[in-house]
Structure 1
Amino acid sequence: MKLQILLALLTLLTATNAWAAPSRLLERAGSWNVMTYKSKHGKVCYFYARPQTRSPAGLDHGDVSFFVSSSPKQGVLGEANFVAGYEFREGSVVGVDVDGENFTMFTKNDSAWLSGREQDRKLLHAMKKGRTMTVRAISARGNPTRYTFALSGVTKAAGDSRKACR
């Protein structure tokens, strides 16, 4: 199910398809954008940001974003998802550090998720109280990458996203 939501989000960020309306920007909170759209499975609400910094500087990182999404009719609530503009090394993990609190995401192709709802809940809690989130990954080519996200606005974005999905 996580892969289905990711694919729907990515598709709708760039185009309209036959089963869903395009995403609609509801709000900007700091560097986080609150979005919603309707799919054949009901309303999907999410907030996302692009990194403030990317390293190494000389590498083509592609389109990198961090999402937190909900689709109540599908039982998805506050699911964290990191999307890179490249494939991850097979079998690798993505490390997430929120002001010293660490999380590990499993990878599939160019996306990464936490292991379940409890981890999603803990990460969102850390993001709400944190200042900076650093995400580390390894590309399929073996390049270590690092991204920094500002967390200012996450509490408002999470609240607005939750309200939009009621």
Structure 2
Amino acid sequence: MAKYTFVTGVEKRFDDNELIVSKTDLKGRITYVNDVFTAISGYSEKECLGQPHSMIRHPDMPRCIFALLWETIQSGEEIFAYVVNRCKNGDHYWVNAHVTPSIGPGGTVLGYHSNRRTPDRDILEKKIIPLYKELVSEEQRFGSRKDGLAASQGMVADMLANSSVQYDEFIARL
């Protein structure tokens, strides 16, 4: 959960030719951010380094998608996912994230690397935002965060089973 959850409802955008990059250690603590990351998020590099990546977590981001993301990268696989992040001032920005394990000598996972591009606005507005609203609503329906997470994970599992695809293929087909 993000330390700060104040949100303004104002969306910030970045250019299609820009790439937001960050790296984390195995526990999700930030070890690197590029200039685009700091410009869009409003945090300085110094404020980011050593902090949990969840510092930019937006409360409208379904927990089940982050759980799927972490499960995937911790298994050594890459994942593509639409993510809404929270800026330091409470604004937000959407990204199409490609998250991969950073592999060292002998195949050891050293941390994680994320490249984020501008999302396809049509897919975002017609598919992702409504889906994420539904997932967050399901998560909040329960008194227990654990029960809410399990319920939204079940929704995603059912959606993927009905489509006969894995999550990455689901995202690629949108």
TM-score > 0.5, shorter chain as reference: no
- Structure number with greater Rg is 2
TM score, norm. by length of structure 2: 0.32
Give the structure with the higher percent strand: 1
TM score, norm. by length of structure 1: 0.33
Give the structure with the higher percent helix: 2
